[in-house]
Structure 1
């Protein structure tokens, strides 16, 4: 999925403001699309169901399957798929799956350039909608295949600076936004897209926070695409 970062975001906002809204779809590097402007993302926010946050009772990472399963059957695990999508200057260990090093330029959350080396913790693969947040807003009631799909969907995943990401925890838009203000419109639009795709709800405070951010960028595109919302049967066998 196309993810504008750093200064590119600010430049894009200026260009859109000058050129006006576009209804066209743009194809991103990951194969996803972003539906063009005209308030599409704000309309998507309004379409999300609003409820209170449910208890975290029963949540564990394991309820969303084994970490980084190869749900798209490309013989590479999901983590390496996202590293390959989001990093530059890639180097591999044995073949073209296992990323050994690369450059995150820039990190969307902090705006800094981060060097990735396997075995160190400078880069995380973040769930844009945290799995715990999803659990408390509908995923508790899903079958296993849908939870596994969410955990491995490229639409919900992004390579980011590890230290910045650790401060996010399982926060939603009402409690955490990227320190890099230029990326916030893209970040919130991504959260809206994931919640809409999977039928997750938002709280009143979360919806208000999303609209506050997106009102400042009414032509922000709404991403689509990613993996199906049901994982292959082999990942859900008991």
Structure 2
């Protein structure tokens, strides 16, 4: 067993600087996305991020999204939680859980990889305290994969899509109920009840890093929810 303590507030604080957006490492052995997926510079300020993302009228209607990796399925983002840049033997989901939960415990014999216990406190979407043992925690993709695919990821090669789906900046443990409610929604369709500006900041950072556009409706929500000067809270 090993105990590690972190949390949403610590992650949010780490996401403020430009260097952190370019190198989003939550633990020493979590790898980052390839340089070809990164812009020259990304600021953590919401207003600055809005200047760096392209705005389009509406979400494109793109065919071909198939997340499943079973027989006959498209597997367009690769096998779940399989980071092609990480050769540690521990999957992306367990790495994120270990980095983000409090009082983490691991399954014996897994070299401190498989997380079997811990507490999400606070949940970044609801502010609640959620034990992992209740199976009420899921790892969310901040920019939903289906949405990212329609916004341009359909043009990427399979490896880049797989890197995106496992990038720590794109992954966050959250309430299962809130995650199911969010589903494939954009900023204009869903926001967390807890610290929405922190979520908007991270969503925009992912979009900027991977050069994914946002819609005009999303931009409107971001600017009205988090007007100029409204920063995501620091730890």
TM-score by length of 1: 0.75
Say which of 194, 197, 204 aligns to 1:192: 204
1:76 to 65, 90, 96: 90
Gaps of 5+ in 2: 1-5, 29-41, 68-74
Gaps of 5+ in 1: 13-21, 222-238
Give CA-to-partner distance per residue, 1:142-194, whole Å, 9 cap, x none: 111111111000001100010111000100110000022xx211110101110
Q: Is residue 156 from structure 1 mapped to residue 152 from structure 2 by the alignment?
A: no
1:137 is matched with 151
- In terms of mean alpha carbon deviation, does 51-60 or 133-142 score higher? 51-60
- Structure-1 separation of matches of 2:204 and 2:24: 18
- Tell me the TM-score normalised to structure 2 length: 0.75
Shift of 1:129: 0.5
Query: Partners in 2 of 1:41 and 1:204 — Cα distance?
Result: 15
**Structure 1 CA distance for aligned equivalents of residues 62 and 97 of structure 2:** 30
Residue 224 of structure 1 is matched in structure 2 by none
1:141 shift after superposition? 1.1
Say if 1:196 and 1:28 are closer, same or farther in 2 by CA, change over 3 A: closer
Among candidates 101, 105, 112, match of residue 96 of structure 1: 112
Residue 81 of structure 2 corresponds to residue 65 of structure 1: no
Count of residue pairs the alignment pairs up: 200
Alignment check: 8 A CA contact 2:83 2:162 kept:
no
CA–CA distance in 1 between the matches of 2:117 and 2:210? Answer: 33
User: CA 1:65/1:126 → structure 2, altered by over 3 Å: closer, same or farther?
Assistant: same
